[in-house]
Amino acid sequence: MLKNGDTEATDFYNYLVENYKTICYNISNACAKYRSPDDKVDIMGVTKTVPADVVNASIDLGVNLLGENRVQEYLSKRELYKPAKVHIIGHLQTNKVKYIVDNVDMIQSVDSVKLATEINRLAQKCNKTMDVLLEVNIGGEESKSGVSVERLNELADFVSQLPSIRLRGLMTIPPIGCSESVFEKMHGIYLDAKSKYGECFDTLSMGMSGDYELAIKHGSTLVRLGTALYGARKYTEEK
Ligand SMILES: *Cc1c(COP(=O)(O)O)cnc(C)c1O
């Protein structure tokens, strides 16, 4: 895919360019409408099931942050990627931390004391301070991972004390089709925590292909985009 002189590849590349332009346009419109002039919203390319050469084409366009759901898939593709920052955004099992601790820039999906403790232990071992977000299950959905709103403070207090972890903010996946008030509630929770944990606490990772403009309206600093950038995923996703 994406070889010179290959028309199909050229078409796909143009499709990617158009998607990226649309995303940038929508984000700058939403920012102009709802945010202060010096606010910044980062774009993450969510790479699950996307071939490495397509990911690289998006990096060429200016996507400099990638989101990885599955450790195994990431490990099989990372050697092929051009330079970009990488965040883990999928549910992370404690026994997989060792495979990624030294080659990702942030773990967005921390939702338990056990996982945070293991990240801290292994980060310490490789002389690193790991940036993390706490994943909040804002809709209280049983099918989703993330810490409940009720237990967030307790977890945040614990994580903020760990010497080899830097607590950078919160991540969430609002329920599909939920009302705007859920985004508003999440923003409020983020601002409360921000006032408590200080300068470094600067990231609200909220918004995906279907809701990123709404998320920006409610304070998101990082939107995670798969479908809107790369198109519909071809394979069925395992949970
Ligand atoms: C898949 C995924 C996304 C991107 O979803 P799209 O709707 O395709 O943009 C964002 N965040 C997480 C955690 C995901 O698993």
Where helices occur in 62-107 by DSSP H, the ranges are 71-77, 97-100
Ligand 1: residue of 89, 204, 211 to mutate (most ligand atoms within 8 A of CB) is 89
For the CA of 227, the nearest atom of ligand 1: 8
pLDDT, the chain, mean: 94
What is d(CA 193, CA 126) in angstroms, rounded to the nearest whole number?
29
**Ligand 1 pocket check for 89: Cβ under 6 Å:** yes
pLDDT confidence bin for 94, thresholds 50/70/90: very high
Using the atom order of ligand 1, give the atom closest to the CA of residue 210: 7
Of the chain, the percentage scoring pLDDT greater than 90 comes to: 90
pLDDT for the residue 45? 98
Q: Beta-strand (E) ranges in the chain?
A: 42-46, 65-68, 85-88, 106-110, 130-136, 165-172, 203-205, 222-225
Which pairs count as long-range contacts for 108-112, CB under 8 Å and 24+ apart, including other chains? 108/67, 108/132, 108/133, 108/135, 108/171, 108/205, 109/133, 109/135, 109/145, 109/146, 109/171, 110/134, 110/135, 110/159, 111/135, 111/137, 111/145, 111/146, 111/147, 111/155, 112/147, 112/155
The larger pLDDT score, comparing residue 173 to residue 239, is at: 173
Q: Report whether residue 48 contacts ligand 1, using a CB cutoff of 6 Å.
A: yes
Atom index in ligand 1 nearest the CA of residue 224 equals 10
Q: Is the CB of 69 under 6 A from ligand 1?
A: yes
At residue 237, does pLDDT exceed 60?
no
What tens digit of pLDDT does each residue of 185-218 get?
999 999 999 999 988 999 999 999 999 999 999 9
Q: How many CA atoms lie within 13 A of 82 on its CB side?
A: 13
Sorted by where each begins, the domain ranges of the chain are 7-236
Please work out whether the CB of residue 54 comes within 6 Å of at least one atom of ligand 1: no
208 lines ligand 1 (CB under 6 A): yes
Expressed in angstroms and rounded, the spacing between residue 154 Cα and the centre of ligand 1 is: 27
* 7-236, CATH topology level: TIM Barrel (3.20.20)
Using the predicted structure, report yes or no on whether residue 1 has a pLDDT greater than 60: no
Centre of ligand 1 from the C-alpha of residue 7, in Å: 29
Instruction: Give 238's pLDDT tier (boundaries 50, 70, 90).
Output: very low
- Read off the pLDDT of residues 36-58 as tens digits, 9 standing for 90 and up: 988 999 999 999 999 999 999 99
pLDDT at 202: 97
At 239, the pLDDT band (50, 70, 90 cuts) reads: very low
